[in-house]
Structure 1
């Protein structure tokens, strides 16, 4: 799974108060969340870094910095509905694991600004096979938080869709399909879907195009029990 971050766009009207990019198609067995953009800093999670990021508030903080740009602990607290003490503590923990860093060029006086140090997280299940129970617990928390984020973003769109031009309602999609596949064919499908999404990065509308905005794309591929 890869968790990708867009280039920060503070003016983006779709930018939610919480969230979760590699430079190529995903490797089968990885999970992915967010778009792919060349030139963004990518980090593959190992056992130690997974334990450092697998916390709901830390994941929301990192996603907020990735998508909204640099901010202070107080600004993030107000944005996410948390105390500044909690955001400050978890930002320091993220910094200790290399996920965020100081942004001194934004600071004024004693104000401490933070920015995302990585724009893409890659979760590769193959690298974590045989891990101890603590890592398996961190894995479950991380993946559940990604799923919660997807649900939150989709619910936000449904609740606010009347605020958008009718063209966006016609351009949005909520679909589900069922196929019979082998693991190999399923992995091939994932790669091809991501290649298709990546192809839309060329010829992207300019930021000053009044009809353009960031678009979130979620993909879920998983097996189900048959009746």
Structure 2
């Protein structure tokens, strides 16, 4: 396994991922590997026609690609084209209401996925073997910070995550790390 690959999202890609189905499909392909439209449809409780259409939109935007090593003429397999998506908000036009709306939709879809993943764990934690049952955290902290200090804090968190990134080894378990950090209005 080499270095992780990134899709550096532009405005067009942002608009593609502003749809919740596409965020879910891309997430499934990245998490569980290649799949067919019908397999993804079954997993999501959708029709294969719907998932096929959304998969083509993702492919046209460069998020996914056909997995030509699998399937046959009747069965088309898809895989994620990159490991991660990176959005650099500063590269987006801030004065465009359509872009702002797409950004809000995209980020809301991401948060919905994070929530679903966390709720899934909470609901199934009793089925996990030790020590996994108690290897989780759902904490939050309210820290007073200036903007530059907050940027350094975020960079340090990313450094810690990168220090633990490696290929999976036998006996490893996928371990979701979800992190949100944002300013809030101080109570008056």
Q: TM-score, normalised by structure 2?
A: 0.93
2:51 alignment counterpart: 87
1:20-48: CA deviations, max 9, x gaps? Answer: xxxxxxxxxxxxxxxxxx62221211111
Contact map agreement 2:11 2:92 (CA 8 A) in 1:
yes
* RMSD (Å) for aligned C-alpha atoms: 1.6
The higher-RCO structure (CA 8 Å, 6+ apart) is: 1
Structure ranking higher in helix proportion: 2
1:225 maps to 2:181: no
Kindly tell me: are residues 122 and 205 of structure 1, through their superposed partners in 2, closer, same or farther at Cα, counting changes over 3 Å?
A: closer
| Residue 216 (1) aligns with residue 180 (2) | no
Contact kept in structure 1, 2:15 and 2:102, CA below 8 Å? yes
Question: How many positions carry a matched residue from both structures?
Answer: 187
Query: CA 1:95 to 1:131, structure 2 compared with 1: closer, same or farther past 3 Å?
Result: farther
Query: Is there any run of 5+ residues in structure 1 with no aligned partner, and where?
Result: 1-6, 8-37
Matches within 5 A, 1:136-215: 136-201=100-165, 206=169, 208-209=170-171, 212-215=172-175
2:91 aligned counterpart, secondary structure: helix
Runs of 4+ aligned structure 1 residues displaced above 2 Å come to none
**Aligned position for 1:119:** 83
Q: Is the 8 A contact 2:6 2:86 kept in 1?
A: yes
TM-aligned CA deviation for residue 57 of structure 1 = 0.3
Unaligned runs of 5+ in 2: none
Tell whether 2:70 aligns with 1:110: no
